[in-house]
Amino acid sequence: MDAKNKTYGDLDPALTYHIKSGSLAFTDDFTGALARVLGEDVGNYAILTGTVALNSNYAITWEDAHLLIKPLAVKVFADAQTKEYNQADPPLTFVSDPAVGTVLDNGHVISFTGALSRAQGETVGTYPINLNTLGNSNYSVDYTGANLTITLATGDTQILQDKVDLKVYPNPFTNHLYFELQWNKYANARIEIFNIQGTKLTNLFSGDFEA
């Protein structure tokens, strides 16, 4: 019997055999067909003699062989997500190629178990979305990640402006200036210096503050 292989989802290849030693006399020939152990999941399945037969004038010795089912290559792409600060996470979704629901040649359907996850954290910022437990034992998954972005909550800009405690010293200053800034929420901020005529002198900071 000849060893065979296929990819998960494909139809079985033809199961074949050949004479390794000896020969058939006259017009004698085999009848029937090989079979294999049933199953469509990834793994090795023994090939069986099935109904193959030859007349009683021959002593046949079969060598074992198997059909190997290999994993199907599937690409998974996480969807980028966004939420506002202090809100619940949106569902972490994805698309795949082949797409979920695709019917394969053997009648099986593309599907997954498990779920994506994301890096922990609830402050304003960007958090990678990970494959986590999403998968299928019959697939070889090529994963492309995305990010969950947490933004400032709607209306936070005005609220934060009312809750800033900024101490500047010495006041007035000459060539050195010191800040003590207390912020009770996570926010994005910019600190700029202007002269008494209102002309901007420099941008000291632009970025995220943490409470």
**pLDDT value for 166:** 56
**pLDDT value for 159:** 42
User: Tokens representing 152?
Assistant: 């400032």
**pLDDT value for 161:** 47
pLDDT, averaged in runs of 10, over the chain (211 residues): 97 95 93 97 97 93 96 98 93 98 97 98 93 98 97 58 54 64 64 69 73 60
* Sheet with strand 43-48: strands edge to edge: 4-7, 66-70, 43-48, 35-36
**pLDDT value for 185:** 61
Per the CB < 8 A criterion, the answer to whether 145 and 77 are in contact is: no
In terms of DSSP bridges, do strands 81-84 and 43-48 run parallel, antiparallel, or are they unpaired? unpaired
Helix (H, G, I), strand (E, B) or coil at 46: strand
**pLDDT value for 158:** 42
**pLDDT value for 209:** 65
**pLDDT value for 45:** 98
